[in-house]
Structure 1
Amino acid sequence: MATKVLNRGSAVLAVAAVATLTAAGMAYASTTITPANTPVTATSSDLRILTPGYTMRCTNVSGTGTTPAAPGNVNPSTGGIDINISSVSLSSCTLNGQPVTVAASGTWKLKVDHDGASPQGSLIIPAGGAVVTVPSSGCSITVGASTIGPLPYAKPSVTASNSGTVNFNSTGGGVCPPAGPGTAALTGKLTFSPGVDVTP
């Protein structure tokens, strides 16, 4: 299921942005997020999770969270900074055209850094972070621990395009992928309000 940030937060799936571009001679080894201690909302109107022969699309995605308070909004060394996403919602979703419900749970995270030549971000989904149910057939898909990214980040949007993988396990049947584990790619664009700056 693959993925922008938050309002008291909102930070979505979908979504995700910290790519470590390590250009020779351009490593920074520090990250600062601004504004600090501020509710943010991440939204997407077209988030897709793709696996061969199957496409899940959600046209209403949002997430809420708060940027770290000082001094937690500054990391003077490598490794970036995590923004916890306390609330994730995915609705208006379909799987190969069939309506599905998506129940998100656990703490999702957006890890951002400026360790390389430009800011990057990764969306970290916890084990069991989402369960997709197809009412018409009763099959279901559980999303396992996944990292989407790292992806280039430019205020206020993040574009995730076939980067990283979404791990899942399907019960099979109906329009669901065959039973068993699988992987998918996430595509989409996340927008954050207010915009979040990631600087060295």
Structure 2
Amino acid sequence: MRLQIFASFLVAYSTTHGASLPYEAWRVGFSAPNYMEVWIETADVIDIQGQVYRRAMSGVAAIQTPPRNTGNPKGWPVKPAWGKGKYLTGADLPKKIYVRWQSLVEPQTYQMGIDIPESAREVMRKEEKAYCAADGKWITGYREALVIGLAPGGVAKLWALGPCLTPVEITRVQAEVDPRGPYEGGSGGKHRPLSPVSKAYVEKFGVPYGSW
């Protein structure tokens, strides 16, 4: 009920907007552990000015599915990638992110609202020098991206990332099951299909609950 109220709030809540971030746009991205496929129905963002960005992201989350079951889905990476997503041009820094997604290996539909703390926005505003080993250069940059990892069981983790900068873990969230099911009940309980390679992995090794 709480998240349904929040979703309704997204439709109604909008105020005058003016960006205060020190770069043109920040990015939101999504990833999932190996083989643990995810379909994002919607990711809606409210920035600190109160501006609402509905469906800031939807579709598949970034994932690796190595052949012959050679990947390892357990745990989160030490250095998470930027995930699949996009820049929110014109948006101020985020205040809240609402996500509803299908965990295809279960299958189950989850929803959550992530409150972004001021400490995270401070991390995103902070200018830092960093050495980029790929080209051997020092740069001055920002953690201009938020990456959300989505795992079975409704577990989510949020990081702030920037080019050549050390990732900063922001929070871990336990989502709740959306009782309406996939597509807010619009598909008759039918989730999107799991790919053959992920299906083969899960049938052989199962889902490593508790590792995220």
User: Please, what TM-score do these two structures have when normalized by structure 2?
Assistant: 0.31
Which has a greater percent of helix? Answer: 2
Larger Rg: 2
User: Please, what TM-score do these two structures have when normalized by structure 1?
Assistant: 0.32
Which has a greater percent of strand? Answer: 1
